[in-house]
Structure 1
Amino acid sequence: MYKPEISRLYHYQSIELELKNTKDFERRAIVIGDNLFLDKYKLDPILKRQAYFSKATTFNDPFEGVFALSSDVSSINDLMEVLEIAGQLTGFQISDLIHSDTLSNQLAASLQEHPQAITKSFTDQIRQQTGLYCLTADPEDMIMWAHYGSNHSGIALEFDRTPESNCGTMTFEVDYFTSPPEISFGAILRDCIKLSKSKSLIEKANLMSNSSLRKLLYSKTSKWKYESEWRTSNLPGLQDMPGKLVSIIFGYNVKLGVIEYLKSREELKGVSFKCIHPDKSNYKLKMYDEDDITFQVQRVMESIP
């Protein structure tokens, strides 16, 4: 398992409905109190133990996946094999077409004449068809709570990492760079072929950990290094959570009604609840269990005028 010393990973997100228009309200609002609305699109997946895997093309980094790609004609055989595998996966019988000398020659000519266009088109398809779920190893990061935890009024989901789960096996740290790495188009094709033929989760993870696909999907500019991001991948959209949901952590601005509502849900039985609170003695955030006596005393002391 990659970095087994990291036993838990966290996902910051909002939970209240951030109203944009009337249609959003009608479709997504869950009323839990006076002027207190949860977002159905955020709550339902948690109750069903699902996570939304986003396409990299929708991320907030304009340079996400934009790298220099090297290509050579020797990549043609790999490209033909990838196309054949794709045909098998979709059930479309293209074997005769794939083994056509005419097609092979045409692809070779195209790769020679328009290498950047061909390689970019292929890698764009990988990014379009891969869903990513973003995590971090630090549940007390002030900037992450501000940016992704709805300005401290959201939540963080805590996941257990085990060798049997995607969170433990198919989850890796993002690599940060000052100048974009060059990625071989042929290497990407060969890695696609190897992954398609691997049998077990551990085998896939070992291949992915040192692959060109990891460079493509798990790299960002150093401007984002403060996030200390981890990622796991799946098909885009709602999928099973990457690991066991251990706890829900409330930002320090979460309304009491939201806390009481989530704690009352039968679907979250067995999930623990924690709270983030500012430690004013050292200007840091600190995580407490909900029933932590130190936290309760601190709350009472701060409520005294």
Structure 2
Amino acid sequence: MPKDWVEELMQLMCASNLPQENIRTAQQLKRRNFPESLYKFREVNDYSLSNLRDSTLHLTFASNFNDPYDSAVNFDPHFGKSHIELLLEHTEGIYEEDRQSILCASDPILELVKHDYSQIDAATQIGDEELAKVATVIKDSHANFIAKTITEMNRQIQNSYKICSLTERLDSLPLWAHYAKDHTGFAMRYDFRGLPPENMVGLLLWPVIYSGVFNASNLLRGANSGKAFNNLFGVIAALHKSPDWDYEEEWRLVLPDSKDEPPRNLFAPLKAVYLGSKISESNETLVIREAHAAGIPVFKMRLIPHEFRMEAVPHPL
């Protein structure tokens, strides 16, 4: 279950016409709850060593992540109107009695098809089986339209924001395995609590909520009518993930950005580095060298025999 303050934060940010006061209150609320430490797991390569040396974090497109649903939204492109209501709006010469009869039918689309074909010359005979096929084609076409619209929206969101994922967990065996190349990489520790309130990195940092795909219908409703709407819906979508990922206890830097801009690095308050328990001697030397350049202490993860856990111990250097 999400923390109470995270639920409050999401309620503030999910206002349909997001007022500035909600944003200010949300920023203050999350800053009061910044963790003492957030960690970034990396395998050893030129890019990660550069981030270590320069005290930066790498932000990239959600489309590059391992979760295909990352930053995805669900929404109703018709904003509450049913398929049959939309069809009836474009059907001329239909009496109100017939309209109500169609709306109340067990299969309204089929009922509309029957009504339309009943207006054709009586000499044209079309059986119920053929009418059902026509209704199925109409329904399938609409379902494909909905799927295509939502897929295109998600593609745009996943390529319009730059994201960097961090975690409150240093002691997670799966995180070390998945993101630090089977414990052979390293983790960088950051403390964002000392950043000034106006610092951009602090403003971009948000907690993740594990409640499934975000339904953005209410936030997008104004856009359909040309009115004001919550244009931070993409940021909010990036903070929603499947409950399957809740073990990661994730926070994210989410930067609204042009899809034409490349991934970028941002300076972050780096405090320490932790070597994986299975890091090679050569890579250990490389990481320690860059940690010295960054002026931060080095720790190493030590596996506790027979307990399925680990602890960080100072590196003797």
| TM-score of the aligned structures, taking structure 1 as reference length | 0.60
1:258: how far off? 2.4
1:63: how far off? 2.1
> What residue is the counterpart of 1:240 in the other structure?
266
Alignment of 1:20-169 (within 5 A): 39-71=45-77, 120-162=151-193, 163-164=195-196, 165-166=199-200, 168-169=202-203
- The answer to whether the aligner puts 1:227 opposite 2:229 as a matched pair is no
| Identical aligned residues as a percent | 17
> What residue is the counterpart of 2:137 in the other structure?
none
For these two proteins, the number of residue pairs brought into alignment is 211
1:145: how far off? 0.3
1:284: how far off? 0.9
1:183: how far off? 1.0
Q: 1:270 aligns with which of 295, 300, 315?
A: 295
For the pair shown, the structure with the greater C-alpha radius of gyration is: 2
Which amino acid letter does the alignment assign opposite residue 299 of structure 2? K
Structure with more strand by fraction: 1
Instruction: Flag structure 1 segments of 5+ consecutive residues without an equivalent.
Output: 16-38, 74-113, 193-210, 297-305
**Deviation larger for 155-164 or 183-192:** 183-192
Higher relative contact order (CA 8 A, sep 6+): 2
| Distance (Å, rounded) in 1 between the aligned partners of 2:165 and 2:274 | 16
| 1:62 aligned counterpart, secondary structure | coil
Q: CA RMSD in A?
A: 3.0
| 1:175 aligned counterpart, secondary structure | coil
Which amino acid letter does the alignment assign opposite residue 36 of structure 2? S
| 1:131 aligned counterpart, secondary structure | strand
| TM-score of the aligned structures, taking structure 2 as reference length | 0.58
Instruction: Flag structure 2 segments of 5+ consecutive residues without an equivalent.
Output: 1-27, 80-144, 224-228
Which amino acid letter does the alignment assign opposite residue 223 of structure 1? D
| Distance (Å, rounded) in 1 between the aligned partners of 2:75 and 2:209 | 17
Question: Is the CA contact (8 Å cut-off) linking 1:276 and 1:285 kept in structure 2?
Answer: yes
| Distance (Å, rounded) in 2 between the aligned partners of 1:284 and 1:188 | 50
| Distance (Å, rounded) in 2 between the aligned partners of 1:68 and 1:46 | 37
> What residue is the counterpart of 1:96 in the other structure?
none
| 1:177 aligned counterpart, secondary structure | coil
